[in-house]
Structures are given as C-alpha cells and as structure tokens.
Amino acid sequence: MSLIHASAVIEDGAILGNNVSVGPFAYIGANVKIGDNTTVAPHAVIEGHTTIGKNNRIFSHSAVGTIPQDLKYNGEHVELIIGDNNTIREFTLLNPGTEGGGSITKIGNGNLLMGYVHLGHDVIIGDNCILANGATLAGHVELGNHVVIGGLTPIHQFVHIGDYAMIGGASALSQDIPPFCLAEGNRANLRGLNLTGLRRHMAREEINALKKAYRELFEEGNPLQEVAQTIIESTSSEKVKQLCEFIMTSKRGIPFTRTKMNEDKK
C-alpha cells in the first residue's frame, strides 16, 4: 500500500526518504527534504527551503516553513532545519530565518511542540525541549536543551533561555533565563531552580552546588556579575560555571528580585 495519499500534493523537486507517510490533502513544496520514517498528517503544509530529519511526526494543519512574519523579508534564500524524533502537533506555525538573523531557524532533536505553538524567524531550539500549547516565540529567541515552556507563554525577541530551565504557563518573558532556573509570572521573574527537572537528570552533588550558587547570586544582595565572576574562579562544578557564564554574557538581563527560594524548592 502506498504511503502517499492520492489527494496529497507533492511538488516536483521535493525529496522524501524511505517510509515517509503523507496524509490526505497535505502539501509539500518543491524545496522540501524529509527524512526516513517521518509522518505528515492530513492538511499539513510544508514549504520553503525546509529540511526535516528522521522519525518526525507532523500533525494536521501544521504550517511548516512558510515565509517569515517580518516586513523586511523580500524573498531571500532562508531555511528551516528540523532534526530527528520531533513531534509537531496541530496548528503549529514554524517560520524560517531572515537575512538579518543568519537566515536559518533551527530545531534540534527529540522536541515536543504542542498545539498552536509558534516559532518565529531565526529561532534556535536545542534538544529534548517541551513547548506546551500556545507557547509563542518571537524572532531570534534561543532555547538550550531540556527547556520547558508552559502553555500560553509569549517570549520576547532575542531572549535566551539556558539548559534545563522552565518557564511557567501564562507567563510573559522579556529577559534571559539562566540554565537550571524556574521563572514564572507576568512579567516573568526567577522563582528558584527547576528542581523537578534537575532531579531527573543530575546527581545530588551537582544540584547542591547549583543551590549554593543560586543563593549567592540571587539572594545575598551583591552585584550579580561580580558574584558570578567570583564563583567561576572558585568552583569546580561545570554546571555552576555554565550558570555563571550565562549570566556574564546575558544581553537582555536577568529578571529577579532579592527573595529566597520557597522552602519546597530547596
């Protein structure tokens, strides 16, 4: 039995790997490349210079690779690159890059993009991230690995979110969130470490080192970048160095107030 439904439209020039399934009324443009064992559900649209890896699932009414929502875009060659083992749910909107942002939007491996997620132009996403329903990333946003974004959360352009960070649902984020941290609220503010996520992936010793560093950075009232530099020079923990280096290089600043972590987050 053919894996390509008779009503699907696949333009000449499109390249489909082995065992690719395309459902009824789906559209695949001439410059699209799709890797092995990927499924494209009914009514999905994939166009532009879009490259998709292996074992992805693209659900109904997704719009993948449509031109950037940027008034400066004037038909330049831009790309959307998607890795392997991603799940892209219904009504997602994924735009390619723009000339001013490097011309590439890139999604890594093993990510879950739930319904109505939007990734703007020049967004970069690492591996194993979860974006809940209605999460909206403006242009040039960058996520590390294992990031969780709660539902109905908009993220301002150029924001950078580090590895293992979590943003609560219905937040509004306009500044950078360091790795391993939890933020929520409108506007979003640091609330502590993302301990639930850390416990799934890290040893207790690393978590304890991050707790100590967090307190020194955000609770003791000293200048943030000075504290970060001091910690970098004294710690042997690579995770703590990663946290502090993120702070040192942040361009949009870190949203926090001098309050202690809640007891249930310690």
Rounded CA-CA distance 201/53 in Å is: 26
Nearest to 139 by CA among 181, 177, 99: 99
Average pLDDT value over all residues in the chain: 96
Q: How confident is the model at residue 263 (pLDDT cuts 50, 70, 90)?
A: very low
pLDDT given for residue 258 in this prediction: 78
Helix (H) / strand (E) element for 118: namely strand 118-119
End-to-end Cα separation, the chain, in angstroms: 56
Cβ atoms 79, 103 nearer than 8 A: yes
pLDDT digits (tens, 9 = 90+) for 214-234: 999 999 999 999 999 999 999
Percent of the chain with pLDDT over 70: 97
Q: Looking at the predicted structure, is the pLDDT value of residue 172 above 50?
A: yes
In angstroms, the CA 106 to CA 86 distance is 12
Q: How many CB atoms lie within 10 A of CB 168?
A: 18
Q: Which residue has the higher pLDDT, 53 or 260?
A: 53
Structure tokens at 108: 């890594």
Amino acid 109 reads: N
Question: What's the one-letter identity of residue 160?
Answer: H
Task: Say which residues have a Cβ less than 8 Å from residue 213's Cβ, sequence separation at least 6.
Answer: 231, 235, 237, 240, 243, 244
Active-site annotation, residues: 121-122, 139
User: Residue 261 pLDDT more than 70?
Assistant: no
Q: What is the mean pLDDT of residues 86-113?
A: 98
103 is written with which tokens?
């011309």
What are 247's two structure tokens?
A: 């702070």
Distance from chain centroid for Cα 61: 20
Backbone angles phi, psi at 170, to 5 degrees: 60, 30
Sequence length of the chain is: 266
pLDDT at 167: 98
What is the sign, positive or negative, of the torsion defined by CA atoms of 178, 245, 101, 108? negative
- pLDDT at residue 147 is higher than 80: yes
The whole-angstrom separation of Cα 220 and Cα 67 is 47
- At 230-256, the pLDDT tens digits run 999 999 999 999 999 999 999 999 999
pLDDT, tens digit, 9 for 90 and up, residues 20-30: 999 999 999 99
CA distance linking residue 202 with residue 151, whole number of Å:
25
Element (H, E) at 240: helix 238-249
Kindly report, residue by residue over 28-87, the tens digit of the pLDDT. 999 999 999 999 999 999 999 999 999 999 999 999 999 999 999 999 999 999 999 999
Encoded tokens for 69: 């929502």
How would you list the strands of the sheet with 9-10, edge to edge?
Answer: 9-10, 27-28, 45-46, 63-64, 93-94, 118-119, 136-137, 154-155
Q: Cis bond leading into 187, ω under 30°?
A: yes
* Predicted local confidence at residue 27, as pLDDT: 98
User: How far, in Å, CA of 166 to CA of 138, rounded?
Assistant: 17
Residue 260 pLDDT grade (very low, low, confident, very high; cuts 50, 70, 90): confident
The first and second tokens of residue 185, run together, are 């609220």
